[in-house]
Structure 1
Amino acid sequence: MIETPRLIIRPWRDEDREPFWAMACDPRVMAHLPPLTRAESDASVDRMMALQNTHGHAFWALERKAETDFIGFCGIMPPRPPIFEHEIGWRLAHHAWAQGYAREAADASLDWAWASLPVSSIMAITNLANTRSWGLMERLGMVRHSDEDFDHPDLAKGDPLRPHILYRIQRPRLAAN
């Protein structure tokens, strides 16, 4: 579990399934993502739980301390096809947008990664049109690698969600004493 001033970043629990499904039913949240069925939504939670158990990290569940309500996820995914690097990602319920929660959770997730993983960089991807996500990537200090942009292989040719862009952040250097 990771705590920030306003958030708890934690492993998934079964009671997160319903609010995660509610996010999947919100067209604002899913505007740049492929639609999910209830079974696919639950399978996503199952995958996060399995990754947490196997690797010790995943896109973790995210809740506000004050209300202890599930507001989405943020964290670090281990490499898996088509992504062969550690990836930071986030998705928040619409009512939690524009309050700085994604930035707060992403900063804490990166801090955890640098302290816990022997990696030289962390990457992030998003659909080309998802300006909110790539804007956060840039505010985090991530740099776009346009030569590594790609068409997501899980999406059909012609799908407007298929074009993806890739950002990366390098491990910070320790300051000289």
Structure 2
Amino acid sequence: MSEDADVMEYLRPLATRDASDAWIDYQIIHQSSHGFCMWAVDSRASGKFIGAVGLLHVGFAARFTPAVEVGWRLARQFWGQGFAVEAARAALQFGFEEVRLAEVVAHASIRNARSRRLMAKLGMRHDSAEDFDHPRIPEDNPLRRQALYRLARDAWISQCA
């Protein structure tokens, strides 16, 4: 999945097997420390691995941190079938109802229309005044500018009622 150019178009690459293994190790540590991470997602119908969706503490300093973000990475063959929306909603529900988070954020390259549409479907709100330059992406990289989306627990509860 992480070797697919379409999947990784707007994401920081996991260039090697070691990098991919380190990402999985990080998820295990985050789950152990915080009770949540990017969870593996399988298709109920086929049992096939679809991708990873979940919650993480934002791992860099920015105006909006500390914060918890919702994120996703799905294999290309599963795009457009509602899996990302369903899994992200489940992650948000877990974050707000079980972890009792006051807010969850998400961010993506301002060029990443697919993820930004998903954030809007989740009820997340965007204010362009909060867009930021990702500190881990080089200055000359076109993905550096990120759109920040937010969802407060109260807004989540209102949209679920």
Picking from 110, 115, 137, the partner of 1:155 is 137
For residue 65 of structure 1, report the CA deviation from its aligned partner. Answer: 1.4
What CA distance in whole angstroms lies between the structure 1 residues aligned with 2:95 and 2:69? 10
Alpha-carbon contact 1:34-1:161 (below 8 Å) kept: no
Match of 1:136 in 2: 118
What CA distance in whole angstroms lies between the structure 2 residues aligned with 1:96 and 1:52? 25
Deviations 1:11-37 (A, max 9, x none): xxxxxxxxxxxx111000011113222
Residue 80 in 1 paired to residue 62 in 2? no
What CA distance in whole angstroms lies between the structure 1 residues aligned with 2:47 and 2:34? 25
Deviations 1:46-87 (A, max 9, x none): 101111111110111111112222111111112432342111
Task: Please give the secondary structure, in 2, of the residue aligned with 1:32.
Answer: coil
TM-score under structure 1 length normalisation: 0.81
Q: Which amino acid in 1 is paired with 2:23?
A: S
For residue 42 of structure 1, report the CA deviation from its aligned partner. Answer: 1.3
**Unpaired runs of 5+ in structure 1?**
1-22
Task: Please give the secondary structure, in 2, of the residue aligned with 1:172.
Answer: helix
Residue 62 in 1 paired to residue 44 in 2? no
What CA distance in whole angstroms lies between the structure 1 residues aligned with 2:13 and 2:54? 21
Residue 115 in 1 paired to residue 97 in 2? yes
Residue 40 in 1 paired to residue 40 in 2? no
What CA distance in whole angstroms lies between the structure 1 residues aligned with 2:9 and 2:3? 11
What CA distance in whole angstroms lies between the structure 2 residues aligned with 1:44 and 1:80? 13
Moved over 4 A (4+): none
TM-score under structure 2 length normalisation: 0.89
Which sits farther off after the overlay, 118-127 or 95-104? 118-127
Picking from 1, 6, 9, the partner of 1:31 is 9
For residue 121 of structure 1, report the CA deviation from its aligned partner. Answer: 1.1
Aligned length: 153
Alpha-carbon contact 2:60-2:135 (below 8 Å) kept: no
Q: Which amino acid in 1 is paired with 2:122?
A: L
Alpha-carbon contact 1:51-1:57 (below 8 Å) kept: yes
Q: Which amino acid in 2 is paired with 1:140?
A: L
**Unpaired runs of 5+ in structure 2?**
none
Task: Please give the secondary structure, in 2, of the residue aligned with 1:167.
Answer: strand
Alpha-carbon contact 1:57-1:78 (below 8 Å) kept: no
